[in-house]
Structure 1
Amino acid sequence: MTEKTDVIVIGGGYAGVMAANRLTQRDDVCVRLINPRPAFVERIRLHQLVGGSNDALVDYQSILAGGVELVVDTVTQIDAPGRRVILASGGDLTYDYLIYAVGSGSGEPTVSRAAENAYPISTLEQARRLQPVVDAAPASAALMVVGAGPTGLETASELAEQGRKVTLVCGQMLGPYLHPRARRSVARRLAKLGVTVLEGDGTTVTGVTADAVRLADGRELHSDVTIWTAGFSAPDLATRSGLSTDSLGRLLTDETLTSVDNVRIIAAGDAGAPSNLPVRMSCQSAMQLGPQAAETVLSRIASKEPARFDVGFFGECISLGRRAGVVQYAKRDDTPTSVFHLGNRSMAMLKEGVCKSTIWQLRQEARRPGRLDLWFKDRQRRKVVNAKAAPVDSGRPA
């Protein structure tokens, strides 16, 4: 009888599902996916949940391979020496290999009283908490969106398109990833939607009360509902478990996505920091890192040397309400170029197509694991790593 290899995947987001599905290429691998929710959350649609146009949920049965066991629970600690995870329900599970795909969340607001008075929307629970608040607010209510990255732009546009009075507080720059030409075009679109944009020196938020936002330049702006979209952070599970992490709590790995502390722990998605030079936290990178983490595990099972990861980017696609959007193209190393497209219905349809395509890819990987390869490759990363990355591997226990 063939001995089974037990693999646990912590986190059922884009990276975790892709990794779990890819692992089912081998019949002798037992895959358990541990996730705190019984349904898959389309995080890239959470702003739509707030706006009421989508519930941002997908049935796991439609995107998970039949060989993957879904365990609805939360991992509270990883016992790396004992090769087991401790569950919030009180039990534990053992593993031969562990894929760490716990994702990311909003950056913890450090400004005065923001934690009590602002509404983050990086998780399903946060978005659901905010939705009824927005619904209950009168049409004339002042909605303040803090943070002008993709989530901030999409949230502000979604609400403004519904006729809401929205102010977008950038804290320096509107759309910092965007090329200046694309940024100017997005600013014009926001103005057309009626969004008030505050950017430049002095627009950093320094305090949030129940009905106002204070800025660094001393202004205090009335806000009936303050929505916080600024920053990213990683869960502290790796740190609490005694594993090496970067300053944001992401698991430190080598270029095969393997923990610098333990050869049996592999990171995927937003929660990993390969060579201490992590790629952008995004769905785009998670969809690529998930399968590559699984391939590292499969290589080790087969006693082969794992390949280095080579995630590349095409750019960024941002919805600006249900009727417009922008595509910012980039070099494979994620450097934005001067090429972009901003338009009305066609760009909105393209962004919707991107959202649907991620679910299509998850389903394809479930049905035919290992046969889907639509990735962009960054051929220059190895040179960057060799030139800039400090050594992080001091030897790994098995």
Structure 2
Amino acid sequence: MSKKIDVVVIGGGYAGVMAANRSTQRDDVTVTVINPRPLFVPRLRLHQLVGGTHDAVVDYTEVLAEGVRLVVDSVTRIDASGRTVTLAEGGTIAYDYLIYAVGSGSAGPRVPGAAEFAYPVATFEAAQRLRSVLYDTPVSAAVTVVGGGPTGIETAAELAEQGRTVTLVCGRVLGPYLHPRARRTARKYLAKLGANVLEGPDASVTAVTKEAVRLGDGRTLASQVTIWTAGFGVPDLAAASGLRTDAAGRLLTDETLTSLDDERIVAAGDSSAPSDLPFRMSAYAAGCLGAHAADTVLNRIAGEQPTPIDLSFPAMCLSFGRHTGIFQLGHKDDTAMRIYFSGLAGKKLKEFACEASVRHLVTEARKPGSHHWPKDGKHRPQLLRAQHGDAPAPIA
């Protein structure tokens, strides 16, 4: 009887679940997912968890393929030479191939007082804590949301729709990805909900106290609850395990998503940095990268050469409370078009995208290998040539 090939996936988010499900295509492969919580968290819903309009959890029995083993624990170390991972609760798990999909969260704020007095929202536990704080805070209390990206915009809108006094502080521009036309619409929606928006360098936060936020131009905003959505961070597991990472801590890989240090380790999602040119973080990208990571592993098992990642971004969407949204169409090179859907149509398309992000996992669980995504074939090679001269050759 031939020996089973053990594929271990660290992380049970969009990328990890997709990779795990797709890896079950071979009968001689066993798949284990290691995740710190027993439920799948659709991160696209975390602002709704904060606002109390969604519980932001899905049972793993709904999204993981039959036969995939779930270990509820955290990995503290990867031993690449020994091909094992060490668990926080004790013991190790051996692997033949490892898929690194630990996800992302908020970076530790460097602004004085932010770590002590501001509430992050990038993880399930953080969103739960913030929800509890808001539950015990009067609706009339001043709330400041720091960060003008999707999480900041959606959190601010969700709370403003409930009648809270919300100020959204953007150190740069509101919704950097949006086309200027769509950005004007976004400002209009936030204003209609009663949210105050401050943009530009003068609105950069310089300090946070228990009851206030200080800005770069010297203004002080009263803030009984300050919510921090700015910045990006990943777990330090790869670096702590002696694997090469980029400046943010993402695992450095080639274009097949294979670690530069070990061909038995493949990365996917927000924690991966192919050729030191990571993709924009999104549930859509995480699912596609997870699928490609699994394909790379399966290619190596079959003795075939893995292919480079090819991915285009068709859209980006935002919700402004429960009744309005913006669905921003994008070019294949991940820049915004002039075309976007707004109002109820934008909201319905955003909800469709949220549901699809989970539905793709369910479909892959039932029919491994079925997930497909739009490709470009031009933009990524151009980026690689611009940064490196020539695209790096994949590890053989």
Interval of TM-score (by shorter of Structure 1 and Structure 2) = over 0.9
Cα distance in 1 for partners of 2:393, 2:17 equals 30
1:232-289: CA deviations, max 9, x gaps?
1111110101100001000000000000011000000000000111110111100100
How far apart, in 1, do the equivalents of 2:213 and 2:121 lie? 18
Task: Tell whether the 8 Å contact from 2:33 to 2:69 is kept in structure 1 after alignment.
Answer: yes
The counterpart of 1:377, out of the listed 368, 375, 378, is: 375
User: Quick one: distance in 1 between partners of 2:133 and 2:160?
Assistant: 16
State the alpha-carbon separation in 1 of the partners of residues 296 and 381 from structure 2.
Answer: 17
Q: How far apart are the structure 2 equivalents of 1:347 and 1:44?
A: 15
Cα deviations by residue, 1:318-350 (Å, 9 ceiling, x for unpaired):
10110000011111121112111211x332222
Tell me how far apart the structure 2 counterparts of residues 390 and 268 of structure 1 sit (CA, whole Å): 24
In structure 2, do the counterparts of structure 1 residues 204 and 249 end up closer, same or farther at CA, with 3 Å as the change threshold?
same
- Tell me which residue corresponds to 2:362: 363
* Residue 114 of structure 1 pairs with residue 120 of structure 2: no
Flag as ranges the 4+ runs of structure 1 deviating above 2 A: 389-396
Looking at structure 2, the residues matched to 384 and 141 of structure 1 have their Cα atoms a distance apart, in angstroms, of: 46
How much does 1:395 deviate?
10
Partner AA of 2:181 in structure 1:
R
Alpha-carbon separation, structure 2, partners of 1:371 and 1:203: 46
Cα separation, 2, equivalents of 1:39 and 1:392? 39
Task: Provide the rounded CA distance (Å) in 2 between the counterparts of 1:366 and 1:269.
Answer: 18
Partners of 1:395 and 1:26 lie apart in 2 by: 24
Match of 2:304 in 1: 304
Q: Do the aligned residues in 2 keep the contact of 1:260 with 1:395 (CA within 8 Å)?
A: no
User: Does the residue aligned with 1:105 lie in a helix, a strand or coil?
Assistant: coil
Identity, % of aligned positions? 59
**Amino acid in structure 2 at the alignment position of 1:177:** Y
Q: Match for residue 51 of structure 1? A: 51
SS of 1:102's partner is coil
Cα 1:335/1:394, change in 2 over 3 Å:
closer
Q: Give the deviation of 1:64 after TM superposition.
A: 0.5
Task: Calculate the aligned-residue CA RMSD, in Å.
Answer: 1.5
Residue pair 1:5, 1:28 contacting (<8 A) in 2 also: yes
Question: How far is 1:393 from its partner?
Answer: 7.3
Distance (whole Å) between structure 2 residues aligned to residue 3 and residue 392 of structure 1: 37
Q: In 2, are the aligned partners of 1:260 and 1:392 still within 8 Å (CA)?
A: no
Query: Post-superposition shift, 1:108?
Result: 1.6
Matched, 1:354 2:349: no
Code of the aligned partner of 2:40: F
Aligned to 1:176: 176
Aligned to 1:246: 246
What is the alpha-carbon distance in structure 1 between the residues aligned to residue 336 and residue 348 of structure 2? Answer: 22
CA distance in structure 2 between the partners assigned to 1:14 and 1:216 by the alignment: 37
Deviations 1:105-144 (A, max 9, x none): 0122100010010000000100011001111111211010
Consecutive unaligned residues of structure 2, counting only runs of 5 or more, are none
Write the distance in 2 (CA, Å) between the matches of 1:254 and 1:394.
8
Conserved? CA contact 2:385–2:391, under 8 Å = no
List aligned pairs for 1:244-283, cutoff 5 A.
244-283=244-283
CA distance in 2, matches of 1:243, 1:213: 38
* 1:383 Cα offset (Å): 3.0
Distance (Å, rounded) in 1 between the aligned partners of 2:15 and 2:394:
26
CA deviation after TM superposition for structure 1 residue 67, in Å? 1.9
1:390–1:59 CA distance, 2 compared to 1 (3 A): farther
Cα separation, 1, equivalents of 2:390 and 2:136: 53
> In the alignment, what sits opposite 1:292?
292
Structure 1 residue 296, shift from structure 2 partner:
0.1
The AA in structure 2 aligned to 1:241 is S
Secondary structure of 2:76's aligned partner = strand
Please name the residue that 2:124 is paired with: 124
| Secondary structure of the corresponding residue to residue 233 of structure 1 | coil
Q: Which amino acid aligns with 1:289?
A: L
* Structure 1 partner of 2:385: 386
1:159-194 Cα offsets, whole Å, 9 max, x none, are 111111100001121111111111111101111111
Q: Which residue of 1 aligns with 2:149?
A: 149
Amino acid at match of 1:261: D
| Match runs of 1:18-37 below 5 Å | 18-37=18-37
Counterparts of 2:135 and 2:388, CA distance in 1? 48
Task: Indicate how the Cα distance of structure 1 residues 206 and 390 shifts in structure 2: closer, same or farther if over 3 A, else same.
Answer: farther
Q: TM-score, normalised by structure 2?
A: 0.97
Unaligned runs of 5+ in 1: none
Letter in 1 for 2:133: V
Instruction: Output the CA distance in 2 between the equivalents of 1:96 and 1:116.
Output: 42
> Aligned partners of 2:122, 2:390: CA distance in 1, in Å?
33
